[in-house]
Structure 1
Amino acid sequence: MTKNIHSFVKDNFGRECLQDVRSYEKTARKIANYRNHLRFNLRCLHEHITPRSIKLKSNVSGHKADTILENAERKLLNERVRQVNFTIDVLNRKKDQLSEKLSGSLSSDAYNRVAEFTTHAQLSQHEQGKRRHLEKFRKLQTSRADLDKDWRNSGNIGDNSSAEKWVKNLSDRQLSNHEVSVLAKGLNYAVVPEKVPAAEIVTVAESAVSLAHLKPSDADSLRHKICQTLCNTKLPQSNITKDERKALSDLTKDDNIVVVPADKGKCVVVLNESDYDDKCNDLLKDKKTYKPVGYNPTSGYRKRVTDFTNKITTDGSIDIVLKRQLDPPLSLWYRRFTGFKIHKPDPIPVRPIVSSIGSVTYNLAKHAAKILGPLVGRSPHHIKNTQDFVNQIKDLKLSESEIITSYDVTALFTCIPPDFALNVVKECLESDNTLSERTNLKVEQIVELVEICLNTTYFSYKGKYFKQQHGCAMGSPVSPIVVNLCMESFEQQALKSYPGTKPRFGSHHPLVHKLGVIRTLQYRADTIISDSEQVPEEKDHIKTALNNCGYPDWAFLKATKSKEPKTGGASGQTNRARVTIPYISGISERVKNHFKSFGISTSFKPVNTLRGKPVNVKDKQPKDKRSNLVYGVVCGDTDCSAAYVGETKQALKPALVNIGDQVPTKRKTLLEWCSAVLCSYEAGNIADNGWTESLELRWLEKVMPDDMQELFIDHECEDFVGNSDESDTED
C-alpha cells in the first residue's frame, strides 16, 4: 500500500509534493513514538521507578547521598516529561502546517487518501511502540536493582539462630558469629575473588581459538578484546563482609579443625582434626577391606595403562589423538577422605570417599563410561528419576495388607566382585547392536579396559598408601555404571526366582544458575506431586525456603516469566565451539559477548567457593610434583631481569632442572620458579591454582600490554628467553 500511494503522488503531483507527503507521514510516526515515550515516563513517575537512562551513581555512600541521588533522578524525570511535551507540541504544529500545505497542492480525493494512509501508519507505529514500552516498563518493575538496592549482598545471614541449623560444630573451637554466618552459606557458596582469574580466561581463549579454527586475524582480534576487557574492568563488590572474609581466613589457617560437608543435605560439619583422623584410621584398621602398602604404586599402574593404550593404538583400534587423551597424567594418585552422616544418631557413622580426579586411570575410566553409559536403563524395571517413579506408581492400588518397600545395599562398591562385574559387562556388550557406533574397540578390549579401572583400588591418606582388597574401585567414573549394570542383572535373576508375578542467592554464581534453582523446584512440584490441590501449597513452601536463603521476590517473577523461543543467533552463524570460563560478574558477560561475535558459545562456572577454602581433607600434592604445566621462572640474580616461560608434561621439579642447558651461560644463576603457576591441563588441579588448558607460548610477548603481564608473572620481564624454538615443551 505504501508503494501505491507514494507512486500515485509522484506520478500525478511531482517529486516535491511526494517529499511533503513523506515528511507528513514521518512527523505523524514521530508523534506516536513521543506519545508512548511520554506515557512511559509518566508511568515511571507515578510508580516511583527510575528509567535506566537517567539512573545516577556516586562514589559517595550513605543515606544522605542516596536521598540526594533519588531526588536528582526524580527531577530529571520531571524535566524529561516537560521536554517530551514540548517536542510533541512542536511536532503537532509541524504536522498541521504540512497538512494545510498538502490540502492546497493535492486534489480532494488524493488528500483524503494521504490523510487516511498517514493515520493508519501513525496508529500502527503507536501500537508497536506501546508494546515495546510496556515490556520495558515491566522489566523495570522486576529489576533486581530497583526492588533490592543491596541485591549483591542478598542472602547474607544476620540471624545466627537460623545459621546454626546449617553448621554442626563437633570441635573444641568456639565458632564466632561471623564464622558461623560464613559457613552457613554452604560450601558451594562462591565468594567474589580478590583478583581476576586472568590466566584461566586467557587459556580458555586459546582453547577456543583452536577449537573454532579461527583465522589468524580473527584470533588476534579476539585476544585483544579479551585483554582489553581484563585490563579495564573492575571486580564486582564483595558479597561477604570484611568480618566474614577474616573469619574464613581464620578457619582456613586453623590446623586443629577440619571442615567437611555432611553426607546428606547442605550442612557443614566442623570437628577436631584429631577426631577426624581417628574416624578415618578406624576405617583403615579393617584388615579384611584395606591393606597397607609401603610404597607409592602409581608407577606400576601407569605402566599398565600405557602398555594397554600402546597395544590398542598399534592394532589400529584408536588413533594417536585418542591415545594422548587416554594416557595417564604423571603425578596424581587416588586420595581418600570421609563424609559424616550427621542425619543418623550418635555415634555418627562415616562414609569413605575416594577422589580419582587426575589419577592414572581417570582418563581411561571416563572413556569407558562413555562406551558403557548407554547400556544402563535397558531393564524394564529401571527408574530414570523421581518423575518417572511417580508416573509408574500413580495408578497403583494397594490393599490394606500390602506396603511399598525399598532396599539399600551396604557398601555397594566393595560388595561387587570384579569378576562378576566383568562378566556382566561382557554380556551387555555382546548383546549391544549399537556398540560399533560408539567405539572401534572390540568387546575383549573394552573388558580389559574396564578391568584395569576396577582393579586400580589404591589410595593415599596422610602420606600413607592403602589398597582396597575386594570390590570395585571407588571414585572411578566408570564404577557407578558398572555397579548399576550388576544390580540390574542381579534384579533380573531375583525376579526370575520369585514364585509370584539449594546455592544461596548472594553467592557469586551467574544469575541464570540461581533462577534455575527456582525453575527446577517449581518444575518438580508440578510434575511429582500427584494431587493438584497440594501444588500451590508446595510452591508456597519453596518460596518461603528460598526467601530464607536470600532469594528476593523479583527473582521468582523473573524465573516464572515465559521465554520467547530463540530463532537463532543475531548473525545467523552456528556455534563453532563451546568453552567454559570462570564467572566474575561484569567481566565474564563481556568476555562471553566477545566469544559470541566469533560464533563461540560460552558457559559459566563458579570459582572461589567456600569448599576450596577451609575444606582441606585430601592429601595435598607438593608444588614441585605438579605436571602438565605452563610455568614461569625468573633469574635469581637481582641485577638480571630475565624471565623464562615454558610448558612441560613432566613434573615441575625435573623440568626446572632440565632447562639449565637452555638458559644462556651468563644467566646460569639460581632459578626460582614463579609463585604463580599459570595453567594446567588437568581439571583436578583447579583448587591448587591450576587451570584446564595449555597456554600458547609467547602469548604474553605477542599481544599483552606490560601492565597485563604483571597478572601472570611476579617479575617485570624485559626479555623472554623461552620462545617457540627454545621452549621447554615435553611431548
Structure 2
Amino acid sequence: MIPRCLRLNRLVPTKFGVSVVSKAERPLFQARILDGKNQIRSLENDAFFAQRRIEFECPDDFASIKLHASFNVMLQSRPFEQSHEKKLASAQQRHANGARAPGKCTVHNLSSYKPNVAKTAVLNLGLTFNTGSETDRGKIICAVKNALSLVELSRRDAARTRAVSVLSSFRHLQPSPLTSAELQVVKSLCNNKDIVIFSADKGNATVWLDTNDYVNKINAFLEDFSTFLPLRSDPTATLRGDLEKLLADVFRFVPPPQKTLYYSLLCNNGRAPAINGLNKIHKTGVPIRPIVHFTRSPLNKLSAYLHRTLSPLVGKSETQSRNSDNFIDKVRDMVLDDNVVLASFDVRSLSTSVPVGLAIDVCKTALKSDQSLSDRTAIDVPDLLRLLKFCLENTYFIFRSKCYKQVHGIAMGSSVSVTVANLTMEGVENQGSHFI
C-alpha cells in the first residue's frame, strides 16, 4: 500500500517498466518511514530539554503545567488518530479483499438479466466513473475547444494559452483505477447486447433495461405520426449545403472583421443527431425522456452562437423565479383567502409543444427591445431571425439507422431551443398574467 504522494509516474508503458517502478516505490516508502521516525526522535529530544527548562524556572507549578499540557495534547491528537486509524483499516480491508469501497450510485435492474454481486458493485460506482488508464486527449481537446468559443474574445487568447499549458502536462499513462477483475466485468457488460445500461433521468442512479424493451419504448415514442415522420434518406448533406447558402447570404453585408464568425459557423463533417432515452424511474410505468445528441449536428455551432446571443434576454420577466428561495421571497408578504389554491403546471414534451412561429415572434420582440444587442453580434435582427428559424425548423434525428423528422415544435437537443423555449414560456406567462 504505497501512499499517493510517493507513487511514481509509469513512464514506460510495459509490464516490465511498471514492475521496475513498483519495486522502486517500496524502498522510497521505507525511506519516508525512516525519515518520519528520525523527526519524531528529534522532536522528543527538544521536548525533553524544554521540560527541563520549565521545571528549573517553575519548580512549584511544573506538575500542574505538565498535566495541563498532556491533557491538551490528548484532545488535539485524538481526532487525528481516529481519522488515521479509520483510513488505515479501510485501506487494509480493500487490500485484503481486492475490492474498493462501495459506490454511492443506486442500481435499478428493470431487465430480465440477473447480475452477480461483482457486476452490481461495479455499476454502483456510477456511469461517470473513470474506467480508463489512458487520458483521451482527443475528447479533452474537443471539449476545451468548444468551451473556449464561449469565452469573451478579449480573454480568449489568454485562456487558450493556459489550456495548452495544462494539456501538455497530462501524463500518458496512469495506474488504472479498476482492478483486473473489475475491468473484466466492464468488458463483459459491454459485450452483452441483450441489455442496455443508462443513467436515470433524475438522481444518481443507473438503470438496467432489456434491449428489446428499450427499443420498443423509443419506437412507441416515435410512432406518434402527428409529431414524427420517418424519412427515406439522411438529409445531412442537403442540410450542410443549405447552411452554406444561408450563411453566405447573411454575411454579405457584415463588416470584414466579423468574417471569421462566418467560417466558424460552417460545418464540413456533421452527422445526423442521434436519439436515445433516459428512464424516468420516479414515475409510474418508467417512461422515457428522449435525448437528442445535437453536438454532432451540422447546426451545432450555429445553435451555440444563437444561444449565446439570446440567453441574456432570458429571466427578465416579472413572473420569473430563479429558485424556490426567490419564489418564497415573492409570496412572503402576500395575503390570500382561505379558498385560494396553489397550482403547479408542467409542460409535457416542451420542445414538441412550442410552435416555431410563436417562438420567432417572441424572439423578434425581445431582440428589437434589446439595447445591447449590437455589443454581442454584428448581424441585424432580420438575419438573426432567419438563422434562428433555419435552426429550429431542421428537426431531424436518427435512431437505429433510420431517420425521422419532427413535424411540430422546435428542435430537441439544440442549445438554442432551450433558450427559445424559456423566452416563449415567459412571453406566454406575461400575456396570461394580464387576465389574472
TM-score using structure 1 length? 0.46
Q: Take 2:159 and 2:193, find their aligned partners in 1: how far apart are those partners?
A: 48
Q: Take 2:235 and 2:168, find their aligned partners in 1: how far apart are those partners?
A: 44
User: Residues 226 and 337 from structure 1, CA distance in 2 versus in 1: closer, same or farther, beyond 3 angstroms?
Assistant: closer
Superposed displacement of residue 188, structure 1? 2.2
Question: Is 1:323–2:262 an aligned residue pair?
Answer: yes
Q: Take 1:253 and 1:296, find their aligned partners in 2: how far apart are those partners?
A: 29
Q: Which has the larger radius of gyration?
A: 1
CA deviation vs aligned residue, 1:571-626 (integer Å, no higher than 9, x gap): xxxxxxxxxxxxxxxxxxxxxxxxxxxxxxxxxxxxxxxxxxxxxxxxxxxxxxxx
User: Residues 490 and 337 from structure 1, CA distance in 2 versus in 1: closer, same or farther, beyond 3 angstroms?
Assistant: same
SS at match of 1:357: helix
Which of 349, 355, 360 is 2:298 aligned to?
Answer: 360
One-letter identity of the residue aligned with 1:299: A
CA deviation vs aligned residue, 1:500-524 (integer Å, no higher than 9, x gap): xxxxxxxxxxxxxxxxxxxxxxxxx
Native 8 Å contact 2:110 2:207 kept in 1: yes
User: Residues 201 and 438 from structure 1, CA distance in 2 versus in 1: closer, same or farther, beyond 3 angstroms?
Assistant: closer
CA deviation vs aligned residue, 1:345-395 (integer Å, no higher than 9, x gap): 23x222222111121111001110111111111111111223322322344
Match of 1:289 in 2: 227
Q: Take 1:56 and 1:278, find their aligned partners in 2: how far apart are those partners?
A: 49
One-letter identity of the residue aligned with 1:315: F
Q: Take 2:144 and 2:205, find their aligned partners in 1: how far apart are those partners?
A: 37
Which of 38, 45, 49 is 1:76 aligned to?
Answer: 38
Match of 1:351 in 2: 289
Native 8 Å contact 2:217 2:288 kept in 1: yes
One-letter identity of the residue aligned with 1:341: K
Match of 2:345 in 1: 407
Match of 1:195 in 2: 134
Structure 1: runs of 5+ lacking an equivalent:
1-51, 90-136, 499-731
Q: Take 2:81 and 2:376, find their aligned partners in 1: how far apart are those partners?
A: 47
In the TM superposition, what are the counterparts of 1:202-241 in structure 2 within 5 Å?
Answer: 211-212=157-158, 226=168, 230=171, 235-236=174-175, 238-241=176-179
In the TM superposition, what are the counterparts of 1:498-513 in structure 2 within 5 Å?
Answer: 498=436
**Relative contact order, higher structure (CA 8 A, sep 6+):** 1
CA deviation vs aligned residue, 1:668-703 (integer Å, no higher than 9, x gap): xxxxxxxxxxxxxxxxxxxxxxxxxxxxxxxxxxxx
Superposed displacement of residue 301, structure 1? 1.4
One-letter identity of the residue aligned with 2:231: V
User: Residues 196 and 433 from structure 1, CA distance in 2 versus in 1: closer, same or farther, beyond 3 angstroms?
Assistant: closer
Q: Take 1:249 and 1:456, find their aligned partners in 2: how far apart are those partners?
A: 38
Match of 1:305 in 2: 243
Question: Is 1:274–2:220 an aligned residue pair?
Answer: no
Superposed displacement of residue 314, structure 1? 2.2
Superposed displacement of residue 195, structure 1? 2.3
In the TM superposition, what are the counterparts of 1:132-147 in structure 2 within 5 Å?
Answer: 141=80
Q: Take 2:189 and 2:158, find their aligned partners in 1: how far apart are those partners?
A: 43
One-letter identity of the residue aligned with 2:171: L
User: Residues 426 and 271 from structure 1, CA distance in 2 versus in 1: closer, same or farther, beyond 3 angstroms?
Assistant: same
Q: Take 1:404 and 1:398, find their aligned partners in 2: how far apart are those partners?
A: 10
Superposed displacement of residue 141, structure 1? 5.0
In the TM superposition, what are the counterparts of 1:488-503 in structure 2 within 5 Å?
Answer: 488-498=426-436
In the TM superposition, what are the counterparts of 1:242-261 in structure 2 within 5 Å?
Answer: 242-261=180-199
Native 8 Å contact 1:259 1:271 kept in 2: yes
Structure 2: runs of 5+ lacking an equivalent:
9-20, 52-75, 149-155
One-letter identity of the residue aligned with 1:336: I
User: Residues 466 and 405 from structure 1, CA distance in 2 versus in 1: closer, same or farther, beyond 3 angstroms?
Assistant: same
Superposed displacement of residue 242, structure 1? 3.3
Match of 2:317 in 1: 379
SS at match of 1:407: coil
Superposed displacement of residue 185, structure 1? 2.3
User: Residues 142 and 405 from structure 1, CA distance in 2 versus in 1: closer, same or farther, beyond 3 angstroms?
Assistant: farther
Match of 1:340 in 2: 279
Native 8 Å contact 2:279 2:289 kept in 1: yes
Superposed displacement of residue 274, structure 1? 1.1
User: Residues 197 and 316 from structure 1, CA distance in 2 versus in 1: closer, same or farther, beyond 3 angstroms?
Assistant: same
One-letter identity of the residue aligned with 1:254: N
SS at match of 2:290: strand
Superposed displacement of residue 219, structure 1? 13
Q: Take 1:246 and 1:418, find their aligned partners in 2: how far apart are those partners?
A: 49
User: Residues 203 and 258 from structure 1, CA distance in 2 versus in 1: closer, same or farther, beyond 3 angstroms?
Assistant: closer
Which of 435, 454, 457 is 2:373 aligned to?
Answer: 435
Q: Take 1:196 and 1:458, find their aligned partners in 2: how far apart are those partners?
A: 33
One-letter identity of the residue aligned with 1:169: N
Aligned identity (percent) is 27
Match of 2:402 in 1: 464
User: Residues 83 and 211 from structure 1, CA distance in 2 versus in 1: closer, same or farther, beyond 3 angstroms?
Assistant: farther
Q: Take 2:320 and 2:420, find their aligned partners in 1: how far apart are those partners?
A: 15
Question: Is 1:179–2:119 an aligned residue pair?
Answer: yes
In the TM superposition, what are the counterparts of 1:97-116 in structure 2 within 5 Å?
Answer: none
Superposed displacement of residue 145, structure 1? 7.6
Native 8 Å contact 1:198 1:230 kept in 2: no
One-letter identity of the residue aligned with 2:121: S
Q: Take 1:408 and 1:214, find their aligned partners in 2: how far apart are those partners?
A: 41
CA deviation vs aligned residue, 1:1-46 (integer Å, no higher than 9, x gap): xxxxxxxxxxxxxxxxxxxxxxxxxxxxxxxxxxxxxxxxxxxxxx
User: Residues 399 and 87 from structure 1, CA distance in 2 versus in 1: closer, same or farther, beyond 3 angstroms?
Assistant: same
- Greater shift, 389-398 or 424-433, is seen at 389-398
SS at match of 1:248: helix
CA deviation vs aligned residue, 1:134-178 (integer Å, no higher than 9, x gap): xxx99x95998886346898995549xx87xx1111222111112
Superposed displacement of residue 454, structure 1? 0.5
SS at match of 1:337: strand
One-letter identity of the residue aligned with 1:79: R
Question: Is 1:389–2:335 an aligned residue pair?
Answer: no
SS at match of 1:444: helix
SS at match of 1:80: helix
Superposed displacement of residue 282, structure 1? 1.2
Q: Take 2:163 and 2:284, find their aligned partners in 1: how far apart are those partners?
A: 59
One-letter identity of the residue aligned with 1:235: Q
One-letter identity of the residue aligned with 2:319: H
Q: Take 1:174 and 1:363, find their aligned partners in 2: how far apart are those partners?
A: 43
User: Residues 214 and 327 from structure 1, CA distance in 2 versus in 1: closer, same or farther, beyond 3 angstroms?
Assistant: closer
Native 8 Å contact 1:429 1:435 kept in 2: yes
In the TM superposition, what are the counterparts of 1:328-727 in structure 2 within 5 Å?
Answer: 328-346=267-285, 348-498=286-436
One-letter identity of the residue aligned with 2:266: D
User: Residues 367 and 214 from structure 1, CA distance in 2 versus in 1: closer, same or farther, beyond 3 angstroms?
Assistant: closer
Q: Take 2:358 and 2:227, find their aligned partners in 1: how far apart are those partners?
A: 18
CA deviation vs aligned residue, 1:164-203 (integer Å, no higher than 9, x gap): xx11112221111121112122222333x22244566789
TM-score using structure 2 length? 0.74
Q: How many residues align?
A: 379
Q: Take 2:349 and 2:210, find their aligned partners in 1: how far apart are those partners?
A: 26
User: Residues 198 and 335 from structure 1, CA distance in 2 versus in 1: closer, same or farther, beyond 3 angstroms?
Assistant: closer
One-letter identity of the residue aligned with 2:186: L
Superposed displacement of residue 211, structure 1? 3.2
User: Residues 400 and 295 from structure 1, CA distance in 2 versus in 1: closer, same or farther, beyond 3 angstroms?
Assistant: same
Match of 2:252 in 1: 314
CA deviation vs aligned residue, 1:92-133 (integer Å, no higher than 9, x gap): xxxxxxxxxxxxxxxxxxxxxxxxxxxxxxxxxxxxxxxxxx
SS at match of 2:320: coil
Superposed displacement of residue 295, structure 1? 0.4
User: Residues 71 and 419 from structure 1, CA distance in 2 versus in 1: closer, same or farther, beyond 3 angstroms?
Assistant: closer
CA deviation vs aligned residue, 1:531-564 (integer Å, no higher than 9, x gap): xxxxxxxxxxxxxxxxxxxxxxxxxxxxxxxxxx
Native 8 Å contact 2:254 2:379 kept in 1: no
Match of 2:72 in 1: none
